[in-house]
Amino acid sequence: MHTVLVTGCAGFIGSHLCERLLADGFNVVGLDNFDPFYPRPSKERNLATLRNHARFAFHELDLRQGPTALQEAIGSTAIDVVVHLAAKAGVGPSVNSPVAYLDNNLLGTAHLLEWMRTQQVTRLLFASSSSVYGNTERRPFREDEQLQQACISPYATSKLAGEELTYTYHHLHGLSVLNTRFFTVYGPRQRPDLAIHKFARLLLAGKPIPVYGDGSTARDYTFVGDTVEGIVRGIQYLLTHPGCYETVNLGNNRPVALLELIEAIGQALQIQPQLEYQPMQAGDVDVTFADLTKAQTLLGYAPHTPLAEGLAQFVAWLRATPTEA
């Protein structure tokens, strides 16, 4: 029975992943620092179904505390695969707090990699982001795209630099690595700062929806269950391909324009949206669009959740959840 260490386990994607791994028979060790980017009670709710599971162990820890603190938390537990989801998230906020993003995301990743080196933990799935592509002209985005001068937000820069760090440890220390570039993940427990969650709350409150730009910007919205499936397949890939170093997109291969998204959320809530046009936000890209050829070839990854179905699941969760989530 394999043991997986999941950093950022109390977050949106992390909590879904831990539940899936436990259901699949893995042992799971979870780390989270309860970053105050959004309220702790929502993250505690994410952990509620995990805390009493016999094969789940939780440690509250900030990776910036260093490899020694991490080792003290993990102790003698043998880790087979690390899934590194922990990061300070959000493109827009990173523009206003670049140092905080680089500190959290790069230093935390460096400390984790050093711990893996000293403890001879050899397999890492690193959560990267579609934001690393910036406004790359070739679409859909392919993993072999040259990304020098592509990043247009500190968050994107921190993620691409994280990929470079994982390569350094692969090259120097033989670490097996799968970098996974996520594309706008949504679904139950989604962070409150992200568009779908934010727009739905505004609609329920009878407030207008801010439309940044002309509404033509588009995102490759990916349901969290599909993303988690891709991560689990990535873990299996790492377990069976020692010494690998690969980067794959985990998206949906169908960009949805902002105005189309707002209409779909309104339909899911049965509320007619009122729009309020505003200037484009700094750091935002025009389109995200994942080429999935490589993920399909290496992992057998094939997302299957239509937007309307995913939004219905999100709305059901939202209506049953307190407002501070």
Report the chain's C-alpha Rg in angstroms: 19
What is the phi/psi pair of residue 152, to 5°?
A: -120, 15
Contact 12, 220 (CB under 8 A): no
Token pair belonging to 81: 């695969």
How far is 186 from 13, CA to CA, in rounded Å?
9
Contact 108, 29 (CB under 8 A): no
DSSP line for 267-322: HHHT----EEEEPPPTT--SB--B--HHHHHHH-------HHHHHHHHHHHHHTS-
Neighbours of 103 (CB within 10 A): 14
List, in sequence order, every residue forming a beta bridge with 56; answer none if it has no partner. 28
How far is 62 from 69, CA to CA, in rounded Å?
9
Closest listed residue to residue 125, CA positions, set 28, 226, 236, 288: 236
Token pair belonging to 27: 């042992």
How far is 204 from 277, CA to CA, in rounded Å?
19
How far is 236 from 26, CA to CA, in rounded Å?
11
Q: Catalytic amino acids?
A: 155
Contact 292, 230 (CB under 8 A): no
Token pair belonging to 34: 């309860």
Tell me the residue length of the chain. Answer: 325
How far is 76 from 90, CA to CA, in rounded Å?
34
Q: Which amino acid is present at 150?
A: A
How far is 290 from 278, CA to CA, in rounded Å?
27
